Structure 1
């Protein structure tokens, strides 16, 4: 039977910080109250692994016995766990269950790879019964929505299930909190953590590079061939590295690149400038990765150049600079990258530096998030409680420097820089308000035009956008070509002229339907099938397009949106013909 005991400080040399003691107490309280599924959401750098180990220690004190399975999905987490146990709770016996390494399987804590566990469950060779572990702890639990973790959940029946992560929402909106009883027992975001000095402060610097990163593959990922062509430019690389040396001379740095070729190019450049550097990526053998990681950790090299291998789980407390040389539109990825340098060492490292040299500023979404965070930092803390004396509002601990890119903001309209997260949030808001899945016309009327979606997801933007959220274009599969033609002719008769694409879409025949029926570009192919040309495309000149835009801008007293401009008869097909793809952006 479980007994209630007061939490004591760990016996090991490493002692918990105030926020870590609060997290351990929250774990303890949840167990005592019988809520045995729980989640912790803590900013990167706050010591989630240490908290997990102290929670395991507390669990053993409460129950007196029981085995624990510690699940992770990255090898850098696996290799660091033994090290952390040795420092925090060396008295707890540990085993290992991973591909190529199975040892001490009767130990109190088994450190395991989710991939090995899932594979062995499927093959029927798992050496553990469903009830073997009394508790399971999952690191980076936002991955729990994937099929690999579902295999684990279906097999094991632990009494206690705990998740640790730095985020509580996925960009694809998959629900993973349900596995943990929707019970977040402790949460500490980046801003509150900086205020409480639980992590280092942030100094963000944006560098201008004049490169267009609007390159995609299938609308979702950046195309490697185009990345190489765009990114591997010696003069650009040299300028960035020279600025890095000016900003952070001699500081330990992690560089995030777009792909392997780009990473190796940066290493070569650093070597030519007499800077010690190594590349660390999945194209290398495991033993090479291990040696290079140790060299960076021990200070034998100043710079580690990676791709996405160290976005999660990598722990280098003395790394002071994150240099972003990759096109990153996702706020989540940005947060993970900057988290690599926010581990605080009191009196030694009080601030982490993020140098954004790729052009995240061109999407402005990242900067908007940062501005919002800065406002939170300056505002009174909402956490209150007994740790208010710990709080700081020192502006030097959250500094944004965009002096090099300030002109970018004056050149373009704000709507151009909607992020994927904002696009999805607007869709869900509209879906909730209407009580149904909105059409592309309804969505575009809110300022998130097809041009914005094509920039974010590639062509066809609307369909790729819906696919990313696990949805299909509404009614696309129920309408036939014949129905589309009949609707068009009916509209043409009613108006006494050839209708525009926007007018046709307003009748429920949007671009996604036409793309499905006729291939992309749907509207042009549809008109071609009826022997018609895209309305006005051949008659309007660039000069007329500009004059109409300026007229509309003057009437509204602001920069018009694409939807407003298209409603005047100047649609995307016309702009593409005049300016090439992407028409709206090139026109602006």
Structure 2
């Protein structure tokens, strides 16, 4: 067969032949029909049985994909990974089948055939099949692009929960649009809008350190972070996380730390970050060898490998490395990637040390980081504290009133409907107000963040018509390459760059002194990243001006808390609307903005509904009810709020109608006990450690009476088996550790602290008399298993959260 073949009929024969000899099978189609799954089901079953990897990605565009098709393909085997691209109305049209036969060979089929019987058998379809040897670069690029879409933030895993949710949307859409069922419209011709993360032309690497940063040696926060990492190594940790604001040199920190290791793997999700990191490491260790491992480069026989997560997550590439190939693994900005993908890579390798670096953990509080790094956040410094220490430049924040009524624009779950948003953005009167505000407050070099490519182009053209040296820079083709645009704004040839998310990460322009926000803030994480673009120190820059158009959009009032220098509790206690910013920083709001923020605070979506949304999002992500600890680690709401609103996690589940009839009965019967386990004070971890001991005795005995002597061995072992528990909670008042086991001493501590105190504060639910500690309530047999499970979930959550908080 030729290396490139045109297939115009019976594509299924080619597919089955390729499936039968593949080690990896990747299918990417805009829709999936049950009939199409039927055609290849047998071949897929045989492939799974012989150990092949199968990934399928499809979309919800126009709701053509059938819910029953999703059920059928997931039912073939739990080993098949299926994901659904949430198009939010945007066109989604890929039709590609990728096969890997061995280490070096495979094939790619791209054309017009979706996964339906008609398209694969007798339909009029054109497809090209290319053997990998025809162009290994094209083939590797296709694999890389598939994984980027498969792991895109707009894709969700297909499981029982997400299928039910999709089926509701599917039925609703077809009830409202009966004429569109299975009919493709002209809107299908709009090209697929997935943001590109790289371009071959215009890619630039901007050094993290300019002359003002001095020689290539640790400075400021890097010194503190390196000392913290040295401490955790001495304490026996093999994993740690450093959270550092943009502009403090996270990549250089990793490079300095890597000097202590022979072989290093640096993992990131963007090509620019890999190239920048490679250059930074070369500055620090010029005697070492360095290589990029991504879709087009496979430089792996070097001292330091800089790998794309999208390439490395591919089993064929992962298994090219020995599990102990690297002494140190550095993971950069991993909060953007699918957890399973990173976990697969991290589970495979066995390094001496794992270092995670980021500026913005998902919820600004390090929770995701904490879960991945075994509870060890070695160092945290956010941009407000860095400004206070004069390691980043101060800001002058100008809040300009945006009279757009965002409540009339459809919210699509994570963002506003683009067409409706554009209708109010692409107006001359709006552009004129933006121009006037910019002229009034700007300094010399401005980066403007827009919500879409059309808005960026519109504003750039408007500014140019008014005599301003402006341009738009985005992934769909720009007037200048990124490298030229950066050079021109640094040299003063450009005054404004209008962009769409291209500068969130990876590329920095330290001389920027003005940021212009002409988009509604949808993600607090992205807002933090974008603010960080203007805060780098630079000779002659005294502060960064931030001009922000504030309307009644979601997060308009929430984002201001990111600028506040007070602790969260102090801020909430004060009740003040306007944040208290660091010294040398200025806030200046239009009067209408103040009135708007007050109104938004009064009308904010009830917290209960926010918590419900966060719960169901995670429920759909993992395909089952999350445990309390999973909700804390991976949910997108503060877990403490579940207790604050509902007095217990189970109380929330009852309110959200997530409990079965049996579970409702158990909850109502033992609600006071569940609330007690949730609410009891924890100046130390001791109460929950004793409860953990009770639960360790098993389902039949967890409520049995106990003595302090009974609990002593477990109590001592639990608090000494982990270094951070030992350090935090197992020392006397003089700081002397109680590490050596002394039964009498430990039993006395247990008797004095958790047993006596908890029995006294439990409102009669627990008693401690004559050395016997026991619950005072009875549990019927049919309720025991459920109550034990819930108690264990709360206990595990509270212990985890306690040590998480104390370790910081």
Q: TM-score range by the shorter chain?
A: 0.5 to 0.7
1:474 corresponds in structure 2 to: 657
**Aligned equivalents of 2:226 and 2:641: distance in 1?**
38
What SS does the corresponding residue of 1:261 show, helix, strand or coil?
A: helix
| Aligned counterpart, 1:325 | 518
Distance 1:375 1:185, change over 3 A: closer
In structure 1, the residue matched to 2:267 is 71
Equivalent-residue separation in structure 2 for 1:240 and 1:398 (angstroms): 23
Do the aligned partners of residues 422 and 136 (structure 1) sit closer, same or farther apart at CA in structure 2, a change above 3 Å counting?
same
Native 8 Å contact 1:321 1:355 kept in 2: yes
Instruction: Quote the RMSD (CA, aligned, Å).
Output: 3.4
Structure of greater relative contact order (alpha carbons < 8 Å, 6+ residues apart):
1
After TM superposition, the structure 1 = structure 2 runs for residues 195-274 of structure 1, keeping only pairs within 5 Å, are 195-214=388-407, 215-249=409-443, 251-274=444-467
The aligned counterpart of 1:115 is 310
CA positional deviation for 1:21: 0.9
Q: Match of 1:365?
A: 557
Secondary structure at the aligned position of 1:229 is classed as helix
| 1:411 Cα offset (Å) | 7.0
- Structure 1 residues 282 and 216, CA, compared in 2 at 3 Å: closer, same or farther? farther
Deviation at 1:355, TM superposition (A): 1.0
Tell me which residue corresponds to 2:248. Answer: 46
Gaps of 5+ in 1: 1-11, 61-65, 380-392, 443-472, 480-588
Aligned partners of 2:272 and 2:506 also within 8 Å: yes
What secondary structure is seen at the aligned counterpart in 1 of 2:507? coil
CA contact 1:194–1:397 (8 Å) conserved in 2: no
With over 3 angstroms needed to count, the CA separation of the structure-2 counterparts of 1:396 and 1:269, relative to structure 1, is farther
In 2, Cα distance between equivalents of 1:144 and 1:136 = 16
Q: How far apart, in 1, do the equivalents of 2:341 and 2:280 lie? A: 26
**1:349 aligns to 2:349 (yes or no):** no
User: Given the superposition, is the C-alpha separation of residues 109 and 368 from structure 1 closer, same or farther in structure 2, using an over 3 Å criterion?
Assistant: same
For 1:237 and 1:246, locate their aligned partners in 2 and report how far apart those are by CA, in whole Å. 14
1:17 equivalenced with 2:209 (yes/no): no
- 1:373-452 equivalences under 5 Å are 373-375=564-566, 397-406=584-593, 408-409=595-596, 412=599, 414-417=601-604, 424-425=637-638, 427-430=641-644, 433-438=647-652
| Structure (1 or 2) with the larger CA radius of gyration | 2
Shift in alpha-carbon separation, 1:179–1:326, aligned structure 2, 3 A: same
Q: CA deviation at 1:276?
A: 2.5
In structure 2, what is the Cα distance between the partners aligned to 1:15 and 1:419? Answer: 49
Structure 2, unpaired ranges of 5+: 1-213, 571-579, 612-636, 663-808
Residues 1:14 and 1:20: Cα distance change in structure 2 (over 3 Å) = same
Q: How many residues align?
A: 411
SS at match of 2:354: strand
Q: Please give the alpha-carbon distance, in whole angstroms, between the structure 2 residues aligned to 1:219 and 1:228.
A: 18
SS of the counterpart of 2:307?
strand
Q: TM-score, normalised by structure 2?
A: 0.46
Cα deviation, residue 402, structure 1: 0.8
1:51-99 per-position Cα deviation (integer Å, ceiling 9, x unaligned): 1111112x23xxxxx2101111123312322332344443332111122
Given that residues 329 and 360 in structure 1 are in contact (C-alpha distance below 8 angstroms), is that contact kept between their aligned partners in structure 2?
A: no
CA contact (8 A) 2:388 2:583 kept: no
Aligned to 1:63: none
Tell me, in whole angstroms, the C-alpha distance in 2 between the residues paired with 1:254 and 1:87.
28
- 3-state SS of paired residue (1:412): helix
Deviation at 1:418, TM superposition (A): 5.6
| Cα-to-partner distance string for 1:274-309 (whole Å, 9 max, x where unaligned) | 323332223238994454455445654332221122
Check the 8 A contact 2:393/2:542 in 1, yes or no: yes
2:224 is the alignment partner of 1:28? no
Contact between 1:431 and 1:437, CA under 8 Å: does it hold in 2?
Answer: no
User: 2: distance between equivalents of 1:163 and 1:290?
Assistant: 29
Preserved CA contact (<8 Å) 2:394 2:584: yes
Contact 2:263 2:328 in 1 (8 A): yes
Q: 1:182 to 1:224 in 2, by over 3 A?
A: same
Write the distance in 2 (CA, Å) between the matches of 1:416 and 1:255.
29
Q: Give the distance between the partners of 2:322 and 2:490, measured in 1 at CA.
A: 38
Does 1:91 pair with 2:287?
Answer: yes
Q: What per-residue deviation string (whole Å, max 9, x for no partner) do you get for residues 428-470 of structure 1?
A: 3347722415269x6xxxxxxxxxxxxxxxxxxxxxxxxxxxx
Farther off after superposition, 77-86 or 155-164: 77-86
Q: Which residue number corresponds to residue 127 of structure 1?
A: 320
Distance 1:286 1:176 in 2: 39
Q: Output the TM-score relative to the length of structure 1.
A: 0.63
Give the Cα–Cα distance (whole angstroms) in 2 for the partners of residues 230 and 245 of structure 1: 22
Tell me the distance in 1 between the aligned counterparts of 2:232 and 2:590: 48
Match of 2:341 among 148, 160, 163: 148
